């Protein structure tokens, strides 16, 4: 079955082409069927490939489609690699992607037929690019998908193109992604010159023999690319602005898939990172810092989607922390559970926004529990999952990362737990403000409040099942021997790294204590936030530190002053001085010179015959002299 893996990205590509090219002619229901059907077909094929990959002893399969670049010594094939890691991501992308496509058919139903089809074509193109990313057998194909998802992110954030602010948000996302991509490209070229190849197999085989300095450089540059794509410090400010796009887009791209591309890339390159401990520390510290920074900002946000956006940035920080301390399985596990509960949170938020007719301010919500029961229950389950409360999925994945962090450096654990506490707090603040207490909106709105249709609630329910039960795929050793199915499944992918890494074994009692402490603190924070915000909503204008947090630590303003304004000034200089004065002057000057010259030459044509004869005589004399002097 794995030789049919090319079908997996092919279906969304066809869906993109059909919906894109015939968007003016297709009916909305047909568009929805094509869009969702393509992803469903990919999911089915992925499932079949997964069943094949589940067998122990499954060797990675490389299917080469054609020669992509073939010059001199460089031979890069358009090839797909089917192994445990790519199969897992295939399932996540197509599975969650399918649910979000179904959700979108209802959420976007107000759009006209042409724009509805445009939405689905972009969404299919995105899934195609993301599948290329995870299926690529070398860094170049990965990069093609990497760029493709960046492009689709731009197209979808700016989907409602008539609003110029959304356009700026889309542009910001694309430009910041591009800055990261520069790092990725330089790493790619370095790899090519160092190893002579960018195939995963060849690079990873040659890596142990390379100098640590070179590996540190390559991995750091790859990580720069990951900071752009996965919204880490310093390239994270585009993600909250990206909430300008439709909510299903935020769920798919900025929660479940695109932003996890960085983690996939580093997990795939795990041997390179294990051999470069300096970069690992950089990754861990950056991830941790981002996790904390984003969590603090989320504490004071009032837009339901912005809270979730900063929550995403924060959770991605945790995943990078996991990668940085060598817990590759833990990070991928968190990607999986995060895909479930974050997509669920975003889709639930979309359901709320739809019910309130595009109201996103939580200060104007409240008491939605009785009007939106299914949304309420699923949202609550997602909040419990993200807060890390057992037995929900978030607990297992987050705790695996925190345990590994403790083994590396107890300080990582302490700061990580502080972040987890903040996570629990702001999530339950969000939950309580939206669903508990009394409705704070307008009376007319209250009359129209009703639960969303099935196309919205069924994906919510399915994702909720994942958010609740997903954790049981990775039960840690201390709880039950040999029950960590995910670790066993992904072991072949990370085997080289686990062999090299120094085995930190923390005693079982310490692990239980770590778990207990984090769960206890999360529970305390959740209960506190629940009770406080269900009674009295957070309506007051913040002062001091609260104001700083609400204004996102003024990072956007800092970037604006430090980078954007000087660049704009430089561009203006280039336009006014270099372009207009110098280059235009030169080009116009050539024209003016020719005109002047011709004006002067024209004076020779006086019409006086004598003058012409004189010119003839002078010419003759000159020729004569030239001949004379030549001899």
Partner 1 sequence: MGRLGGAAFMPINYYIFLAIALFCIGVAGVLTRRNAIIIFMCVELMLNAVNLLLVAFSKMHHLALKATNPNAGIDGQLFVFFIMVVAAAEVSVGLAIIAMLYRNTHSVDVNFLNRLKH
Which of 454, 617, 622, 623 is close enough to bind partner 1 by CB under 8 A? 617
Instruction: Provide φ and ψ at 458, rounded to 5°.
Output: -65, -45
Span from 158-166, 237-245, 276-284, 613-621 in contact with partner 1 (CB under 8 A): 613-621
Contact (Cβ atoms closer than 8 angstroms) between residue 526 and residue 424? yes
Nearer to partner 1, 442 or 616 (CB): 616
Nearer to partner 1, 162 or 602 (CB): 602
Nearer to partner 1, 574 or 620 (CB): 620
**What is the length of the chain?**
631
Quote the least distance from Cβ 593 to partner 1, whole Å.
25
Per CB under 8 A, does 55 bind partner 1?
A: no
Nearer to partner 1, 571 or 614 (CB): 614
Per CB under 8 A, does 608 bind partner 1?
A: yes
Per CB under 8 A, does 622 bind partner 1?
A: no
DSSP secondary structure, 163-222, as one string: SHHHHHHHHHHHHHHHHHHHHHHHHHHHHHHHHS--BHHHHHHHGGGS-HHHHHHHHHHH
Per CB under 8 A, does 619 bind partner 1?
A: no
Nearer to partner 1, 574 or 618 (CB): 618
Angle between helices 261-268 and 84-107 (to 10 degrees): 170
User: In Å, how far are 20, 284, 621 from 12, measured between CA atoms?
Assistant: 12, 35, 82
Span from 61-69, 155-163, 433-441, 607-615 in contact with partner 1 (CB under 8 A): 607-615
Nearer to partner 1, 586 or 609 (CB): 609
Which of 583, 613, 622, 625 is close enough to bind partner 1 by CB under 8 A? 613
Quote the least distance from Cβ 620 to partner 1, whole Å.
9
Quote the least distance from Cβ 608 to partner 1, whole Å.
5
Quote the least distance from Cβ 612 to partner 1, whole Å.
8
Per CB under 8 A, does 606 bind partner 1?
A: yes
Q: Quick one: three-class SS letters along 539-594? A: CCCCCHHHHHHHCHHHHHHHHHHHHHHHHHHHHHHHHHHHHHHHHHHHHHHHHHHH
Nearer to partner 1, 55 or 603 (CB): 603
Q: Give the other-Cβ count within 10 Å of 628's Cβ.
A: 8
Nearer to partner 1, 500 or 613 (CB): 613
Helix and strand tally (H, E) in the chain?
27, 2
Which of 193, 509, 605, 627 is close enough to bind partner 1 by CB under 8 A? 605
Contact (Cβ atoms closer than 8 angstroms) between residue 318 and residue 401? yes
Contact (Cβ atoms closer than 8 angstroms) between residue 291 and residue 426? no
Quote the least distance from Cβ 601 to partner 1, whole Å.
14
Which of 51, 574, 614, 623 is close enough to bind partner 1 by CB under 8 A? 614
Nearer to partner 1, 574 or 611 (CB): 611
Residues 6+ apart with CB under 8 A from 53: 2, 82, 83, 84, 87
Which of 66, 164, 610, 627 is close enough to bind partner 1 by CB under 8 A? 610
Quote the least distance from Cβ 602 to partner 1, whole Å.
10
Contact (Cβ atoms closer than 8 angstroms) between residue 271 and residue 200? no
Helix, strand, coil percentages in the chain from 3-state DSSP, rounded to 5: 75, 5, 20
Span from 174-182, 415-423, 584-592, 609-617 in contact with partner 1 (CB under 8 A): 609-617
Nearer to partner 1, 600 or 608 (CB): 608
Alpha helices in 327-372 (DSSP H): 328-355
Sites for partner 1 among residues 502-531 (CB under 8 A): none
Among left, alpha and beta (phi > 0; psi -120 to 50; other), residue 271 is alpha
- How many residues contact partner 1, by CB under 8 A? 9
Nearer to partner 1, 56 or 607 (CB): 607
DSSP, collapsed to helix, strand or coil, labels residue 606 as coil
Quote the least distance from Cβ 574 to partner 1, whole Å.
49
Which of 55, 601, 609, 626 is close enough to bind partner 1 by CB under 8 A? 609
**Per DSSP, which regions of 255-324 are E strands?**
none
199 - beta bridge partners?
Answer: 138
Nearer to partner 1, 162 or 631 (CB): 631
Which of 193, 586, 607, 628 is close enough to bind partner 1 by CB under 8 A? 607
DSSP secondary structure, 381-430, as one string: HHHHHHHT-TTSHHHHHHHHHHHHHHHH-HHHHHHHHHHHHHHHHHHHHH
Nearer to partner 1, 469 or 617 (CB): 617
Quote the least distance from Cβ 580 to partner 1, whole Å.
41
Quote the least distance from Cβ 613 to partner 1, whole Å.
6
Nearer to partner 1, 590 or 617 (CB): 617
Quote the least distance from Cβ 623 to partner 1, whole Å.
14
Span from 39-47, 152-160, 447-455, 612-620 in contact with partner 1 (CB under 8 A): 612-620
H or E element, residue 374: helix 373-387
Separation CA 388–CA 376 (nearest Å):
19
Separation CA 68–CA 220 (nearest Å):
27
Quote the least distance from Cβ 617 to partner 1, whole Å.
6
Per CB under 8 A, does 615 bind partner 1?
A: no
Separation CA 496–CA 494 (nearest Å):
6
80 - beta bridge partners?
Answer: 63, 136
Quote the least distance from Cβ 595 to partner 1, whole Å.
20
Quote the least distance from Cβ 618 to partner 1, whole Å.
10
Which residue ranges make up the site for partner 1 (CB under 8 A)? 605-610, 613-614, 617
């Amino acid at each position: 079955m794995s030789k049919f893996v090319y079908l997996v990205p092919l279906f969304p590509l066809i869906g993109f082409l059909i919906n894109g090219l015939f968007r003016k002619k297709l009916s909305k229901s047909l568009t929805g069927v094509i869009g969702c059907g393509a992803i469903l077909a990919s999911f089915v094929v992925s499932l079949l490939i997964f069943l094949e990959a589940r067998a122990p002893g499954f060797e990675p399969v490389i299917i080469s489609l054609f020669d992509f670049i073939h010059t001199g010594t460089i031979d890069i094939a358009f090839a797909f690699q089917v192994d445990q890691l790519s199969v897992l991501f295939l399932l996540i992308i197509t599975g969650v992607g399918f649910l979000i496509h179904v959700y979108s058919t209802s959420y976007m139903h107000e759009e006209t037929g042409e724009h509805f089809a445009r939405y689905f074509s972009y969404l299919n193109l995105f899934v195609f690019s993301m599948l290329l990313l995870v299926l690529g057998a070398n860094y170049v194909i990965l990069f093609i998908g990497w760029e493709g998802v960046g492009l689709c992110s731009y197209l979808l954030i700016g989907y409602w193109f008539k609003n110029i602010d959304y356009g700026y948000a889309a542009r910001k996302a694309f430009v910041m992604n591009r800055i990261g991509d520069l790092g990725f490209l330089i790493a790619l070229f370095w790899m090519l010159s160092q190893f002579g190849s960018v195939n995963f197999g060849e690079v990873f085989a040659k890596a142990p023999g390379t100098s640590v300095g070179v590996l540190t450089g390559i991995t750091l540059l790859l990580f720069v690319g990951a900071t752009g794509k996965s919204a880490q410090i310093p390239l994270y400010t585009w993600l909250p602005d990206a909430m300008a796009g439709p909510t299903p887009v935020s769920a798919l791209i900025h929660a479940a898939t695109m932003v996890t591309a960085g983690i996939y890339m580093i997990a795939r390159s795990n041997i390179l990172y294990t051999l470069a401990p300096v970069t690992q520390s950089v990754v861990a510290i950056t991830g941790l810092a981002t996790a904390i920074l984003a969590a603090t900002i989320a504490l004071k946000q009032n837009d339901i989607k912005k809270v979730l956006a900063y929550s995403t940035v924060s959770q991605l920080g945790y995943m990078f922390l996991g990668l940085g301390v060598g817990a590759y399985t833990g990070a991928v596990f968190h990607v999986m559970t995060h895909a479930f509960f974050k997509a669920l949170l975003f889709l639930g938020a979309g359901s709320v926004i739809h019910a309130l007719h595009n109201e996103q301010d939580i200060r104007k919500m409240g008491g939605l529990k009785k009007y939106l029961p299914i949304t309420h229950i699923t949202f609550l389950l997602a909040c419990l999952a993200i807060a890390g409360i057992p037995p929900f999925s978030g607990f297992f994945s987050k705790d695996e990362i925190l345990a590994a962090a403790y083994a590396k450096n107890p300080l990582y654990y302490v700061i990580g737990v502080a972040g987890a506490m903040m996570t629990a707090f702001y999530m339950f603040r969000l939950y309580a403000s939206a669903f508990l207490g009394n409705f704070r909106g307008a009376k007319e709105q209250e009359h129209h409040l009703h639960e969303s249709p099935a196309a919205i609630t069924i994906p919510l329910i399915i994702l909720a099942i994942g958010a609740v039960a997903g954790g049981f795929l990775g039960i840690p050793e201390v709880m039950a021997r040999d029950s960590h199915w995910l670790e066993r499944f992904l072991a072949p992918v990370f085997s080289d790294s686990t062999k090299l890494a120094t085995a930190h074994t923390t005693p079982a009692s310490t692990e239980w204590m770590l778990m207990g402490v984090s769960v206890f603190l999360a529970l305390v924070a959740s209960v506190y936030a629940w009770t406080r915000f269900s009674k009295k909503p957070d309506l007051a204008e913040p002062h001091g530190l609260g104001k700083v947090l609400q204004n996102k630590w003024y990072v956007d303003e800092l970037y604006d002053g430090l980078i954007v304004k000087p660049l704009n000034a430089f561009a203006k200089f280039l336009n006014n001085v270099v372009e207009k004065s110098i280059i235009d002057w030169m080009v116009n000057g050539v024209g003016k010179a020719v005109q002047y010259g011709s004006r002067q030459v024209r004076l020779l044509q006086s019409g006086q015959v004598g003058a012409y004869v004189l010119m003839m005589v002078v010419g003759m004399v000159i020729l004569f002299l030239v001949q004379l002097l030549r001899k």
